Amino acid sequence: MTDKPVFEITFTAASEHIDELGHVNNAVWVQWIQQVAVAHWEAIADPAHKDAYFWVVVRHEIDYLRAAHDGDRITARTWVGDAPQGARFDRFVEFTGPDGKLCVRAKTQWAIIDKASGRPIRVPAEVVAPFMGAG
C-alpha cells in the first residue's frame, strides 16, 4: 500500500447503489472516491487551508476488480502521492469488500484552486505536510 498515513471510512452498499447487473454501479464507485477524498481533506486540513483552497479532480484511473453487492460493507482507504507537481497532487484509493478482498483501486489527480482568485496555484508545502505524516 503506502508509507503515508492512510485515512479510512466505510460505506454500505444500498439498493440505490445497485445496477441492473446486481452490483454496485461504476458511477457509485466514482462518487465514493470523491467522498473519501473530501472526508480526508475535512479531517486533516488546517481550517485556514479549508477556507483558502478547494480541490477539483482532473483525472481518474480506476480498476474495477471485484463486484460489491447490496448490503456489503465496503472499507475505503485513501492516501496521497509522493509530491505535488505544480497545482496537481495524486491521491490513491482502495475499496475492500466484507471479505477483505480488493474490489476497486483508483488513482486520481486533483488540482488545488485558490478560492480568492478562482485559479489553480502551486500546491503549498504547508498544505501537503499533514497528509504526508509531517506537521
Q: Which three cell numbers stand for residue 47?
A: 481550517
* Domains parsed from the chain with CATH numbers: 7-131 (3.10.129.10)
pTM (2 d.p.) = 0.93
pLDDT interval class at 1 (50, 70, 90):
low
> How does DSSP assign 46-90, residue by residue?
-HHHHHHEEEEEEEEEEEE-S---TT-EEEEEEEE-S--BTTEEE
DSSP of 2-21: -SS--EEEEEE--GGGB-TT
Residue 135 has what pLDDT?
47
Q: Average pLDDT in the 76-84 region?
A: 95
Whether residue 3 is predicted with pLDDT greater than 90 in this model: the reply is no
- Contact call for residues 133 and 5 (beta carbons, < 8 A): yes
